[in-house]
């Protein structure tokens, strides 16, 4: 064995010392979520997040939203490595898939990497139906995911649900809505398509003009007013689902309140669900412009125009949940909050 020179010995001694000191300085990331307040304690070691086995806002709301909040908690640390374990997922609803993709998209956009993309590991250990669903919804393409096997892109998905690929943007463009409408029309006859286009356009406009106030963007790592939308058709249940999501401040924080309502919201008498319900009925606008503030009412009007008992509108925003079906309204206030606003139309076809 060749002897080391004096220079080499000094080099390796210094290298070993530096490595030892670096290991001493490393601390694991600990993320605590208490009452929706996120506390990030350390920032260097790789954080591993395990996705829940069932990711759905209905029936599994708490565990799903907790996971989304853990993803959001990674954003302030722009360099720390992380890993998301997908192998546990057995079922993911289209609504949860849209929000999940949006959260990862947001996370990637906050990174300081040269290449803002993700690589997949243990891909063959993922549930095959989940893999195919996320592929069909366009998650891997939107996130520019690397190391996806080539054969996987050609694999057929024998399922009752047909998904349209995610769309994302940061402006209220009518062309985005028209494109989604055209894609839906290729799968099924779209009832009252002009009214749906009006509702989606208003949702997008509300997102751009209300969900992202300037003070919120100033304290945010991402300065764009982002939104995501998608749709799916279930051939078995004969339902069309159209979804829209933004990660803004939420409807309960953007709807201007009268003085009595403000007092009630502070005392807890009026909660997030109540404010969402009020937002679908009144024409109030935080911009005080005459052509603003019609969005939620316009969104609700689409359901009325269908004249179908099973057609429904659902809105999740912060801790509030609102559902409108057959001219009946339902509200719910959850313990955990979902960041931003998620809107979903379910339409029998």
Residue 326 CB: number of other CB atoms within 10 A?
12
- The fold of the 160-349 domain, in CATH, is Heat Shock Protein 90 (3.30.565)
User: What are the structure tokens assigned to 211, written together?
Assistant: 């969900």
| pTM of this structure | 0.80
Residue 72 CB: number of other CB atoms within 10 A?
17
pLDDT value, residue 260: 52
Residue 8 CB: number of other CB atoms within 10 A?
11
Residue 297's SS3 state is helix
Written as one string, the DSSP assignment of 191-258 is TTHHHHHHHHHHHHHHIIIIIS-HHHHHTSS--S--EEEEEEEETTTTEEEEEEEE-SS-HHHHS---
CB within 8 Å of 182: residues ≥ 6 apart: none
Chunked mean pLDDT (size 10), the chain, 349 residues: 69 69 52 45 66 95 95 76 88 94 86 67 90 92 85 90 87 69 74 75 79 83 85 90 92 69 59 89 56 64 86 95 95 94 92
Q: Where are the domains of the chain?
A: 1-159, 160-349
DSSP type of residue 293: S
As a whole number of angstroms, the distance between CA 314 and CA 38 comes to: 27
pLDDT value, residue 94: 92
Give the strand pairing for 54-55 and 91-92.
Answer: parallel
As a whole number of angstroms, the distance between CA 244 and CA 229 comes to: 4
Angle at 164 between CA 159 and CA 170, to 5 degrees: 150
As a whole number of angstroms, the distance between CA 304 and CA 237 comes to: 21
DSSP type of residue 188: S
What does each C-alpha distance from 43 to 38, 71, 76, 81, 149 come to in angstroms?
14, 14, 9, 9, 32
How far does Cα 14 stand from its chain's mean position?
47
pLDDT value, residue 20: 60
**Bridge partner list, 331:** 322
Q: Rg of the chain over CA atoms, in angstroms? A: 23
Residue 108's SS3 state is helix
pLDDT value, residue 349: 84
Cβ 279 vs Cβ 293: under 8 Å? no
pLDDT value, residue 2: 63
pLDDT value, residue 51: 93
């Amino acid at each position: 064995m060749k002897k080391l020179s004096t220079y080499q010995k000094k080099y390796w001694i210094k290298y070993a010392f530096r490595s030892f000191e670096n290991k001493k300085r490393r601390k694991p990331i600990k993320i605590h979520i208490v009452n929706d307040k996120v506390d990030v304690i350390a920032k260097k070691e790789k954080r591993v997040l395990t996705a829940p086995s069932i990711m759905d806002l209905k029936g599994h709301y708490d565990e799903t939203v907790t996971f989304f909040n853990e993803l959001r908690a990674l954003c302030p640390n722009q360099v720390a490595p992380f890993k998301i374990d997908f192998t546990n997922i057995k079922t993911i609803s289209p609504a949860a898939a849209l929000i999940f993709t949006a959260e990862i998209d947001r996370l990637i956009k906050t990174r300081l990497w040269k290449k803002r993309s993700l690589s997949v590991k243990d891909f063959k250990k993922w549930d095959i139906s989940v893999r195919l669903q996320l592929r069909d919804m366009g998650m891997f393409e939107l996130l520019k995911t690397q190391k996806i096997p080539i054969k996987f892109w050609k694999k057929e998905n024998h399922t009752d649900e047909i998904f349209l690929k995610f769309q994302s943007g940061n402006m209220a463009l009518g062309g985005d809505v028209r494109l989604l409408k055209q894609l839906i029309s290729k799968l099924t006859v779209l009832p009252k398509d002009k009214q749906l286009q009006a509702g989606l356009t208003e949702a997008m406009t509300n997102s751009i003009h209300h969900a992202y106030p300037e003070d919120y963007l100033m304290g945010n790592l991402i300065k764009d007013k982002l939104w995501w939308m998608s749709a799916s058709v279930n051939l078995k249940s004969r339902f069309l689902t159209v979804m829209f999501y933004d990660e803004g401040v939420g409807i309960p924080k953007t709807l201007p309140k009268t003085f009595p309502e403000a007092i009630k919201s502070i005392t807890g008498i009026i909660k997030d669900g109540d404010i969402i319900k009020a937002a679908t009925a009144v024409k109030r606008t935080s911009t005080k412009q005459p052509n603003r503030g019609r969005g939620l009412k316009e969104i609700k009007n689409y359901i009325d125009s269908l004249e179908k008992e099973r057609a429904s509108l659902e809105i999740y925003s912060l801790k509030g949940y609102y559902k409108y079906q057959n001219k009946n309204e339902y509200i719910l206030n959850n313990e955990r909050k979902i960041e931003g606003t998620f809107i979903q139309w379910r339409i029998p076809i």
